[in-house]
């Protein structure tokens, strides 16, 4: 008597069986073999929590297809049981249901595979009877050559390992944040607001032999938070810098004339910053921003030493205070000459 014990549920003809009809059965079997490499669709009953896909014995059935697409509308996850539980087979299964629900693929009481809505997975059943399992065939997929991605790669919070020993990777196991790991531990993290080291003061940006070509930033805080003012640098310790002043770089050297007269045209002031200026700079902190201050007026400096002034993009004037030093040097020399003349 014919049996259907193979994984594709084809008719296996016994000796003396199918007299006069063996050709028809053979042709049917060949068609079903082709069906096992085909594309099929199967609709799940609307809002069903459970569904059974059982490959018919010796007859066409979408469950026999290599690529099996599930359709239908769901309002909760649906568990799909592949049968019979003795079938060992590979499926490519697509969750094309409506309702944004998962489908859960099982065969017996063993492991299952969850396929999110809109996703496709390659699975296999082990055909182990009542305890049969369904396994994600690509869980440990090893791509040994060059892989070209035509669409998106969804890691779903899992780690993308980059090196041979597995201690360098990229992951996003925290929502809206990317972690970059090297040497077995997180080094830097990126989220919509910050790019920062995983451990405070643990990562250098460049080194003495490998510097970045240029750095473009809006504001800088050294040892402190940056201000809200674009172009401002704040530091809690010294800023050490040297200006180019080599004589070999200069020409047309002329002492500043009428230095005393120019100094008399400017003043040093005690003053208060306007409230809107304090607010723009983040408010008073009694360190970087104080209401009461001392300084000069840029317009007065510009009138007698325009090289020491500049106009910012917002139209306000600014002073390079260090450029007042040459004026003061010449003023002291001029004053000393006058005193020497009076001593005669």
pLDDT tens digits, residue range 88-145? 999 999 999 999 999 999 999 999 999 999 999 999 999 999 999 999 999 888 888 8
Q: Would residue 189 count as lying in a domain?
A: yes
Residue 72: inside a domain? yes
Q: Mind listing the pLDDT tens digit for each residue in 245-274?
A: 999 999 999 999 999 999 999 999 999 999
pLDDT-based confidence at residue 22 (cuts at 50, 70, 90): low
Domain endpoint, select from 102, 121, 136: 136
3-state DSSP call for residue 230? coil
Alpha-carbon distance 55 to 42, whole Å? 12
Antiparallel, parallel or unpaired: β 134-136 and 317-319:
unpaired
d(CA 118, CA 99): 10
> DSSP string spanning 285-324?
-SSS--SEEEE--HHHHHHH-GGGEEE-TTS-EEE-GGGG
Whether 314 maps to a domain, the answer reads yes
Question: How large is the C-alpha radius of gyration of the chain?
Answer: 40
Domain that holds residue 174: 160-197
265 and 164 in one domain?
no
Asked whether residue 184 is domain-assigned, the answer is: yes
Q: Please check whether residue 228 lies inside any domain of the structure.
A: no
Across residues 144-158, what is the average pLDDT? 84
> 53 and 127 share a domain?
yes
Q: What pLDDT is stored for residue 155 in this prediction?
A: 82
pLDDT at 6: 65
Q: Can you list the alpha helix ranges (DSSP code H) found in the chain? A: 22-35, 259-264, 275-280, 298-304, 325-343
Cα–Cα–Cα angle for 56, 60, 62, rounded to 5 degrees = 85
Pair 119, 193 in one domain: no
Residues 130, 173 within the same domain: no
Answer whether residue 145 is part of any domain. no
Same domain, 131 and 52: yes
The residue count for the chain? 344
Q: Looking at the structure, do residues 193 and 265 belong to the same domain, yes or no?
A: no
Separation between Cα atoms, residue 211 and residue 204, nearest integer Å: 11
**Final residue in a domain of this structure, among 121, 136, 151:** 136
* Same domain flag for 35 and 110: yes
Q: Is residue 109 part of a domain?
A: yes
Q: What is the mean pLDDT of the chain?
A: 91
**Mean local confidence (pLDDT), 27-45:** 88
Instruction: Give the chain's domain count.
Output: 3
DSSP 213: S
With bands split at pLDDT 50, 70 and 90, how would you rate the model's confidence at 319? very high
Position 101 in a domain:
yes
Query: Could you give the C-alpha distances from 215 to 76, 190, 220, in angstroms and in order?
Result: 51, 18, 11
Residues 175, 94 within the same domain: no
How high is the pLDDT of residue 7?
Answer: 61
Specify whether the CB–CB gap between 105 and 83 falls below 8 A.
no
Same domain, 30 and 132: yes
Q: Tell me what pLDDT residue 81 has.
A: 98
Q: Are residues 182 and 269 located together in one domain of the fold? A: no
pLDDT (0 to 100) of residue 242: 87
pLDDT on residue 245: 92
**Assigned token pair, 287:** 């360190």
Count CB-CB contacts under 10 A for residue 135.
Answer: 17
CB neighbour list of residue 312: distance below 8 Å, 6 or more residues apart = 231, 318
Is pLDDT at 65 greater than 60 in this prediction?
A: yes
pLDDT at 18 over 80: no
* Domain co-membership, 103 together with 171: no
Write the pLDDT tens digit of every residue in 171-211: 987 889 999 999 999 999 999 999 999 999 889 989 999 99
> Is 85 found in the same domain as 30?
yes
Please, which pLDDT band fits residue 325 given cuts at 50, 70 and 90? very high
């Amino acid at each position: 008597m014919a049996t259907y014990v193979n994984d594709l549920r084809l008719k296996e003809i016994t000796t003396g069986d199918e007299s006069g009809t063996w050709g028809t059965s053979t042709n049917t079997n060949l068609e079903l073999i082709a069906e096992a490499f085909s594309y099929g669709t199967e609709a799940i009953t609307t809002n069903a929590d459970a569904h059974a896909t059982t490959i018919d014995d010796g007859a066409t059935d979408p469950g026999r297809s290599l690529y099996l697409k599930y359709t239908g509308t769901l309002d909760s996850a649906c568990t799909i049981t592949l049968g019979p539980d003795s079938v060992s087979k590979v499926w490519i299964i697509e969750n094309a249901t409506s309702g944004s629900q998962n489908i859960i693929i099982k065969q017996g009481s063993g492991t299952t595979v969850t396929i999110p809505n809109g996703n496709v997975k390659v699975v296999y059943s082990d055909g182990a009877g009542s305890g049969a399992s369904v396994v994600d065939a690509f869980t440990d997929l090893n791509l040994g050559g060059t892989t070209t991605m035509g669409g998106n790669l969804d890691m779903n919070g899992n780690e993308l390992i980059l090196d041979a020993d597995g201690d360098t990777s990229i992951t996003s196991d925290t929502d809206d944040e990317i972690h970059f790991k090297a040497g077995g531990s997180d080094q830097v993290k990126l989220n919509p607001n910050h790019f920062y080291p995983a451990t405070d003061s643990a990562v250098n940006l460049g080194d003495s032999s490998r510097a970045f070509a240029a750095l473009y930033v809006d504001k800088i805080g050294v040892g402190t938070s940056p201000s809200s003012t674009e172009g401002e640098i704040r530091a809690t310790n010294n800023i050490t810098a040297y200006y180019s002043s080599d004589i070999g770089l200069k020409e047309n050297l002329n002492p500043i004339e009428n230095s005393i007269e120019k100094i008399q045209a400017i003043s040093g002031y005690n003053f208060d910053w306007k409230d809107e200026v304090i607010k723009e700079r983040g408010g008073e902190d009694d360190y970087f921003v104080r209401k009461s201050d001392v300084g000069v007026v840029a317009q007065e400096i510009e009138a007698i030493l325009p090289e020491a002034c500049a106009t910012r993009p917002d139209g306000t004037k600014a002073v390079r205070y260090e450029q007042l030093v040459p004026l003061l040097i010449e003023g002291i020399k001029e004053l000393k000459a006058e005193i020497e003349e009076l001593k005669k």
